[in-house]
Amino acid sequence: MTIDKSNKYDRQLRLWASTGQSNLELSHICLINGTTTGSEILKNLILPGIGNFTIIDDKEITTNDLAGNFFLTNDNIGQLRASALCESLMELNEDSKGHAITDSLDEIDDSVWDRFNVVVVSDYIDPEFLDTLKTKLFKKEIPLFIVNTVGFYGTINLIINEITVIETHTSQLFDLRIDQPWQELSELSDSYQLDSLDDSDHAHVPYVIILMQALRSWSDSHNGPPTTMTEKRQFKKFVQDQSRNFTFETNFNEAVSSVFRAYQKTQVPSMVKSLMNNDKISDKNLNNETPFFWILIRALKSFVELYGNLPLPGTLPDMASDTNNYITLQNLYRDKAAKDKELFIEEVKRVLTIIGRLDGLTALEIELINIFCKNSHSIHVTSGSSQMTSKSLLEQMLSNKSNDYDNEEYNHLAIYFGIMTFNHFIKQNNHVPEESDYDNFIKLFSEVFECHPDLPLSALKTFKEIVCHSSSHYHNISSLMGGIASQEVLKIATSQYVPLDNLYVFDGIRSQSDKYKI
């Protein structure tokens, strides 16, 4: 990265670092429909420097398009939406390259989709075509976002087979191994004779050492570490009593407030355990098509079987100590982490040999292993769905009896079903519903979702709101939903942070939102 780029992108590099940035720069996003919301999504991705974007749209610009779109002006009327928008948006950042496809959706060749890392559909496309596209992309494992805005409402679906995130940035935990010190750590702890230290040195012993020593002497006299609430309380007091002056010894204060780190057992989190039992990495399913992420999980499984724990991340939190004590301790953690990583790489190579890949690891894969070892305790994996609705989701909406719209439990799903009905209404009538279409709108809902039109009051009110305020050009909601959708695209593109799973509904009247899993 040039100096210029690190300066220009400074505020975001602090969130996803250069690894996230290069992933973003290699990404290509496709937007179907050059709507206001779509333009806002692209704006928020072009500014941070997404590599490529493509707009698919065969429509011409009308005055209606200008109403809420900052990137089109009067001069654009009559031009093709895809080309005009592409040109206007490219001006935002010379690092992003834009492309326009002005064919109609059904003319687009199947292979075109393979160019994209992410596809976004904004507002209306023919529901039947959406179904086909969904199936197609799901099979190709290309994530699809469906973003809708109507009046004060907005929804986002994320259609994707599987999400795997290594750098989730979620873990606040430190893996310190106080209960299971490795040999060097044990030796370092033993080298401290707390009683013989002068007062100043005594106040500068890192709490990791204090807790390790306390845990050992407690375990010796109590047949093991504290387990019951009473024992834990006694252990805490035991630690505090070793301080010479608890008001002034910050290190002992920290030891007491971090005392749980001593009696908490170091173990593999259940989420990671379940990943290691995933069928994808069983002997019969593992093959040379297995994605690298799952190869790492398989290697992790062997690592844990061999060494009992996950690779040590090697980060030590700051703690009261003099410089020397702290740096010595920090180096010990770092060295162990480096050794664990080497051992882990051996396991990865073993798995690669099993599946017949003998070309060795690439620099990029080594970099990924680096990140993997630091984050293996907080990996995130979920499976998605290719569906936009389900029986139980519909049931949940129909049975919501909350009538108090200030209440958090108010019927957000009515917005979602209302917006899906809205798109079916356009398909059926070639125009957006208006207030006078209210009865037909309800009828259409019950036809599409094959249910009795006996709706709860909250749904009736929300449907009424949708037909009264049926514009998709209200800029605030377009901008807000565009912001949220682009945030989720960024997570997918950088391969960092946990994205939506998998339906989000925003209510701009109540300024509340909710999410659901289909």
Partner 1 sequence: MELLGKIGPYNEVADEYDAAASVEALSESKVLVIGAGGLGCEILKNLSLTGFKKIHVIDMDTIDISNLNRQFLFRLKDVGKSKAEVAAKFVESRTQGVEIVPQFCKIQDKPLDYYKQFVCIICGLDSVEARRWINATLVTLAGEDIIIPLIDGGTEGFKGQSRVIFPSINSCYECTLDLVTPKITYPVCTIATTPRLPEHCIEWANEIEWPRIHSTKFDADNPDHVEWMYQTSLARAESFNITGVTKSLTLGVVKNIIPAIASTNAIIAASCCNEAFKLITNCNPMLDDYMMYSGDESIFTYTYKNIKKSDCPVCGNDLKVVKAEKWWNLKEFIEEIKHQKDIQMTNPSLSTKFQKLYFSSPESLRLATEKNLQMKLSDLVGDEEVIVTDPKLPISLRVRIVFN
Overall residue count recorded for the chain in this entry: 518
Which residues in 67-96 contact partner 1 (CB under 8 A)? 67-70, 73-74, 92-93
In whole angstroms, the minimum distance from the beta carbon of 73 to partner 1 comes to 6
Site string for partner 1, 121-160 (x = CB under 8 A): ------------------------------xx--------
Going by C-alpha positions, the residue among 59, 116, 88, 6 that lies closest to residue 489 is 116
Residues 174, 312: Cα–Cα separation, whole Å: 10
Looking at residue 7, the DSSP 8-state letter turns out to be H
Asked if residue 337 binds partner 1 (CB under 8 A), the reply is no
In whole angstroms, the minimum distance from the beta carbon of 137 to partner 1 comes to 21
Residues 408, 340: Cα–Cα separation, whole Å: 47
In whole angstroms, the minimum distance from the beta carbon of 443 to partner 1 comes to 19
Identify which of residues 105 and 385 has a Cβ nearer to partner 1 in the complex. Answer: 385
Asked if residue 335 binds partner 1 (CB under 8 A), the reply is no
* 10-25 vs 475-494: helix crossing angle, rounded to 10: 70
Q: Which stretch binds partner 1 (CB under 8 A): 75-83, 386-394, 413-421, 480-488?
A: 480-488
449: which 2 tokens? 């979702």
Site string for partner 1, 28-67 (x = CB under 8 A): ------------x--xx--xxx-----------------x
Beta-carbon contacts of 366 under 8 Å, excluding residues fewer than 6 positions away, are 345
Which residues in 202-261 contact partner 1 (CB under 8 A)? 204
Asked if residue 294 binds partner 1 (CB under 8 A), the reply is no
Pairing of strands 512-516, 380-383: unpaired
Asked if residue 6 binds partner 1 (CB under 8 A), the reply is yes
Q: Which stretch binds partner 1 (CB under 8 A): 178-186, 190-198, 232-240, 479-487?
A: 479-487
Q: Which stretch binds partner 1 (CB under 8 A): 189-197, 258-266, 300-308, 483-491?
A: 483-491
Asked if residue 197 binds partner 1 (CB under 8 A), the reply is no
498: which 2 tokens? 């946990």
Residue pair 132/476 in contact by the 8 Å Cβ criterion: no
Asked if residue 486 binds partner 1 (CB under 8 A), the reply is yes
In whole angstroms, the minimum distance from the beta carbon of 393 to partner 1 comes to 18
Which residues in 390-429 contact partner 1 (CB under 8 A)? 405-406, 408
The angle at the Cα of 376, spanning 371 to 380, to the nearest 5 degrees, equals 100
Asked if residue 193 binds partner 1 (CB under 8 A), the reply is no
The angle at the Cα of 503, spanning 499 to 509, to the nearest 5 degrees, equals 110
Which residues in 424-453 contact partner 1 (CB under 8 A)? 435
Beta-carbon contacts of 387 under 8 Å, excluding residues fewer than 6 positions away, are 518
Residues 261, 335: Cα–Cα separation, whole Å: 21
Residue pair 478/487 in contact by the 8 Å Cβ criterion: no
